[in-house]
Amino acid sequence: MNKKQIEQKWKILKYEIFNKPKFDGLFPPEIIKRRKLLIYAQVHLSNIMDAKYINDERMEAFETEMYELIMSKYDNWYNNEQKITKT
């Protein structure tokens, strides 16, 4: 991932984090689980930046893969939940 791509990923994460769903009272457990994925994504994106700083290609590849995996789970959350409830 290059610097421009990382900046775009941060913009996406910030948008998702600060535009939280509107609920009166406590969030349902499903939303809490989904929003936890955003925290994990932040950690991995930060680790990607660290790996680039120290020029560790293996770490960067691992963290990039983990970031992409977590964001795909986040993006496909409702599809995955429907599959789980059908079985």
Per-residue pLDDT of the chain (87 residues; tens, 9 = 90+): 888 999 999 999 999 889 887 878 888 888 889 999 999 999 999 999 999 999 999 999 999 999 999 999 999 988 866 565 554
Q: Is residue 79 part of a domain?
A: yes
User: Which residue range is the domain that position 58 belongs to?
Assistant: 3-12+29-86
Q: Is residue 73 part of a domain?
A: yes
Nearest one of 37, 46, 39 to 69, comparing CA atoms: 37
Q: Is residue 63 part of a domain?
A: yes
Q: Is residue 35 part of a domain?
A: yes
Q: Is residue 24 part of a domain?
A: no
Burial classification of residue 70, based on how many CB atoms lie within 10 Å of its CB (0-12 exposed, 13-18 middle, 19 or more buried): buried
For residue 27, give both structure tokens: 């969030």
What is the pTM assigned to this prediction? Answer: 0.80
- Into how many domains does the chain fold? 1
Q: Is residue 77 part of a domain?
A: yes
DSSP-derived secondary structure for the chain: --HHHHHHHHHHHHHHHHSPPP-SSSPPHHHHHHHHHHHHHHHHHHHHHHHHHHT-HHHHHHHHHHHHHHHHHHHTHHHHHHHHHH-
